[in-house]
Structure 1
Amino acid sequence: MPVIEVVLGDLVAQRVDAIVTAANESLLGGGGVDRAVHAAAGPRLAEAGSALAPLDPGDAVATPAFRLDPPVRHVIHTVGPVWEGGGYDEAAVLASCYRRCLEVADALGVRTLAIPAISTGVYGYPPEEAARIAVSTLRATRTGVELVRLVAFDEGSRDLLTREVS
């Protein structure tokens, strides 16, 4: 089981082997954290992503990190569920995002990984439930990743994640 830490900060500024972006199915870049990742990595990220698209919700794939600062070598793209009230297997899809990110990280030999809150922005997933799913899935998934850093974009998200990790 990896060490899980929670930080408030900028995902693209994390000094880890790989970062996860909460992508849309096209992998061409979207809003929120995905926009920031694409801006920092440069246009080749969208080109690499489009060659792997479409990506189903709950799945994950990796591309090079392009212009992101070392030690980041990979961007892992995952598509979270759009919240539709909880009756459409959203929890299972969200858990799959975290599992698949760890599986992809393992295939790449990643030891340190930074992950944002998946689906809690424009996809509308309730943040408290999303935090619970994120932490419980990361703890239950066998992986060679040694450190998972959950990167919160605001204090409320940080506090929810910190409660789950504690």
Structure 2
Amino acid sequence: MTTPRIALVQGDITRQSADAIVNAANSSLLGGGGVDGAIHRRGGPEILAECRALRASHYGRGLPPGQAVATTAGRLDARWVIHTVGPVYSASEDRSALLASCYRESLRVADELGARTVAFPAISTGVYRWPLDDAARIAVETVRTTDTSVEEITFVLFDERAYTAFSAETG
């Protein structure tokens, strides 16, 4: 296990080429807004079909926050989509361990699949309202300290604000 190379890209995660693309999913696994909706729309019905099968078998109540599971990538330029459910930000309760778990568990699943390149969004920073600077710190620190066989991690950041926050952490 080595420390993966970390890269930053400002853009659309559905346009990235990687072995695995991480989806900031909602617990239903059935698509939604933001990154989740974009991945399901661009990836096509194969992703939704596998998500429905997961719901019918192992995740009847949905995927819990901090966990990760893989499906096909459908029409995306990847072999797999790794779905992880980020926590909703709370000013009164520290949920940072759950956010870190999203990155750690996604890398664990990537290792099980044999993925060498992984593209991550900024998990929980959209409708789940996690402050960007804190989310970037947790994300970068977690991927740097997680034992993994993944060789390259690309954070695909939707806008300049997110790119700037992650740039500050990757130095």
Give the structure-2-normalised TM-score: 0.93
Once the two structures are TM-superposed, the CA of residue 47 in structure 1 deviates from its matched residue by 1.8
- Post-superposition Cα deviations, 1:117-162, rounded to whole Å, max 9, x if no partner, equal 0000001111110000000000000000000000000001001101
For residues 70-107 of structure 1, the C-alpha deviation after alignment (integer angstroms, 9 at most, x for no partner) is: xx1000000000112151x4100000000000000000
Quote how far apart the aligned CAs of 1:58 are: 0.1
Matches of 2:6 and 2:90 in 1, distance apart? 29
Q: Which moved more, 1:140-149 or 1:38-47?
A: 38-47
In 2: Cα distance, 1:63 partner to 1:136 partner: 26
**Is the contact between residue 116 and residue 150 of structure 2 (CA under 8 Å) also seen in structure 1?**
yes
Q: Which residue of the partner structure matches residue 97 of structure 2? A: 92
Q: CA deviation at 1:12?
A: 1.1
Is 2:67 the counterpart of 1:67?
Answer: no
Question: Is the Cα–Cα contact under 8 Å of residues 25 and 36 in structure 2 kept in the other structure?
Answer: yes
Q: Map 1:20-31; keep pairs closer than 5 Å.
A: 20-31=22-33
Letter in 2 for 1:128: D
Distance in 2 (CA, whole Å) between partners of 1:84 and 1:142 is 28
Work out the CA distance in 2 between the residues paired with 1:82 and 1:19.
Answer: 21
Q: Is the 2:86–2:123 contact (alpha carbons within 8 Å) kept by the matching residues of 1?
A: yes
Within 2, Cα distance between the matches of 1:164 and 1:80? Answer: 20
Residues 52 and 163 of structure 1: CA distance in aligned 2, closer, same or farther (over 3 Å)? same
Pair 1:77 & 2:83 matched: yes
Deviation of residue 44 (structure 1)? 2.1
For 1:153, give the aligned amino acid.
F
Alignment TM-score, normalising by the size of structure 1: 0.95
Give the 3-state SS of the residue equivalent to 1:29 in structure 2: coil
Residue number among 119, 139, 147 corresponding to 1:114 in the alignment: 119
**Cα drift, residue 46 of structure 1:** 1.4
Match of 1:140 in 2: 145
**RMSD (CA atoms):** 0.9
Distance 1:82 1:50 in 2: 23
- How do 1:35-74 and structure 2 match up within 5 A? 35-53=37-55, 54-69=62-77, 72-74=78-80
Instruction: For 1:50 and 1:93, locate their aligned partners in 2 and report how far apart those are by CA, in whole Å.
Output: 24
State the distance in 2 between where 1:143 and 1:105 align.
8
Equivalent residue number for residue 59 of structure 2: none
What do residues 5-44 of structure 1 show as CA deviations (whole Å, max 9, x unaligned)? 1110110111111100100011000100111100011122
Distance between the aligned counterparts of 2:149 and 2:168, measured in 1? Answer: 24
SS state of the match for residue 48, structure 2? helix
Determine whether 1:159 maps to 2:164: yes
Structure 1 CA distance for aligned equivalents of residues 16 and 143 of structure 2: 19
Give yes or no for contact 2:22–2:84 (8 Å, CA) kept in 1: yes
